[in-house]
Structure 1
C-alpha cells in the first residue's frame, strides 16, 4: 500500500484546512519544495499535492511552485486543484507532474474526463470528495448532486484508472479514516481507490491496509504528519505490514 504525504499549497505556502474550509487554515511551512524534500528524504514513494488557490480559481494557479517541487524530488507527484480542461492537464504534466487529479469536471463534464483518459491513460485520476455520501464540487463548497458511489462507477466506465476518495467531514480533523465508505466506493467502482481524510494514527493506516483486498491501494496523510501525530517512517512500515 502506498502512503502519500499531502502538500496543500495556498498563497505560496504549505497549509492544511479543516473540513476543506478556507477559513480554517493552518500554515505549516513557507516553502512547499523544502517540505517535499523532507518527505522524500523520509522515504515517501509518491507525493499528493493540491493547488488550493487553483481549486478556488477554477484553473491551476501555483504551477511555478509545483514545478519547483517536481525538480526538488525524484519521486512521482500527483496534483489536483482547478484542473478542468485538456489545456490545464497539458500545463500540469509539463510542470513535471506524473498524474493529474480531476475533481469538479468529473461531475460537471464527464465527457471531458473520458476524452482525457483516452489521451493520457492512467495519468488521469479522479478525486471524489463527498459529504454524507454526496459528491461536492468547486473546492468542496457546492453539492454535485450525485452519490459518491454512483459517480465512481460512472468514472470507471469512462476509463478512469483510479479514484481518490475524500470524506470531507473528516479531512483535517484527525477523526479517523472512513474506511467502510472507502471500501464500499472501491467495490462500486471496481478500480483502485486511494483513501483520504481523517488519518489520526498508525491504526488508521493499518485499517486502510486491511481494505486492500477490496481495492483500496493507498492512503493520503496530511495534518497527522504535520502535527507529529504520525511519523512518516512508521506509517510506511505500517503500510507494509511491518511493526513500527
Structure 2
C-alpha cells in the first residue's frame, strides 16, 4: 500500500491565506497575510506536498491570486497541486510550466469533460479532478451552485484517461472540524480506479489514525487546513503516524 499523503492546505482570498466555513466566502478567517511564508512553514514541518486553491479564481473562472501563487512557487521546496479558476488549456499549461506539480480541474470537469480528457492526454498524471459534493451532488462555480451530477458519475467520466487523482470534498464538513467523511470517500475510492484524496473536516489526530485503518487502504491522501492553523493537529505527530503505518505495511 502506498503511503497516505497528508496535504496542508493554503486557500487564497485577496492574496491572503484564509479558511472558509463550508465554502462560504463571507465566513473567511485570515490565518496568514503571507502565503509564501506559510508554505515555507509547512515545508519546515516536514510536509512534502502542498495543496493550494485560488478561491477568488474559483468564483471568477480565471486565476485571480496568480501573484500570490507565484510567490509561493518562488521559494517552494515541495510538490504543489493547485486549483481554482482552471477552465482552459492555457491556464493548465501556464501553471504546469511555472512549476506546479499538478493542476486541479473542478467546475470545468462538470461543464466540459472533454477538456479534462484532453488535458490528461497532454499532461498525463499531472491533472487532478476536484469533486466537491453537497448532499452527494457536485457543486460548481466556487460551490455557489449545485449541479445534477453525482460525485460517482463525475468520477466515472474520467476513468482510464490518465487523471492523477480525484480530490473529494464533503462541503458540509469543510472548515467545520467535523471529521472526514470516511464512508463516502472510501465508497468513491472503491468504485473508481483513480486514486482518491479525502478533503473536508479533518480535525484531530484521531482522524489521522483513522486513515491508517484497513478500510482506508485505497485512499491516496487527505487534505488538512483549519486544524493545522488553529493548533488542533500537531503536524509532526500526524506525519509520523502515517509514515509508521506505511512502513509497517
TM-score, with normalisation over the residues of structure 1? 0.96
| Uncovered stretches (5+) of structure 2, i.e. residues with no partner | none
Within 2, Cα distance between the matches of 1:202 and 1:155? 33
1:46-195 aligned at under 5 Å gives the runs: 46-195=49-198
Contact 1:209 1:218 in 2 (8 A): no
Within 1, Cα distance between the matches of 2:164 and 2:79? 16
What do residues 22-71 of structure 1 show as CA deviations (whole Å, max 9, x unaligned)? 01110001000000000000100100000011111101111221121112
User: Aligned pairs, how many?
Assistant: 241
SS where residue 200 of structure 1 aligns?
coil
Contact 1:149 1:184 in 2 (8 A): no
Contact 1:165 1:194 in 2 (8 A): yes
TM-score, with normalisation over the residues of structure 2? 0.94
Corresponding residue for 1:29?
32
Within 1, Cα distance between the matches of 2:60 and 2:237? 36
SS where residue 174 of structure 2 aligns?
coil
* 4+ residue runs over 6 A deviation: none
Contact 1:43 1:233 in 2 (8 A): yes
Question: Offset of 1:157 from its aligned partner?
Answer: 4.2
Corresponding residue for 2:220?
217
Contact 1:171 1:198 in 2 (8 A): yes
Question: Offset of 1:225 from its aligned partner?
Answer: 0.3
Question: Offset of 1:177 from its aligned partner?
Answer: 0.2
Contact 1:67 1:96 in 2 (8 A): no
1:7 matched to 2:10: yes
Within 2, Cα distance between the matches of 1:65 and 1:25? 17
Contact 2:121 2:161 in 1 (8 A): no
| Uncovered stretches (5+) of structure 1, i.e. residues with no partner | none
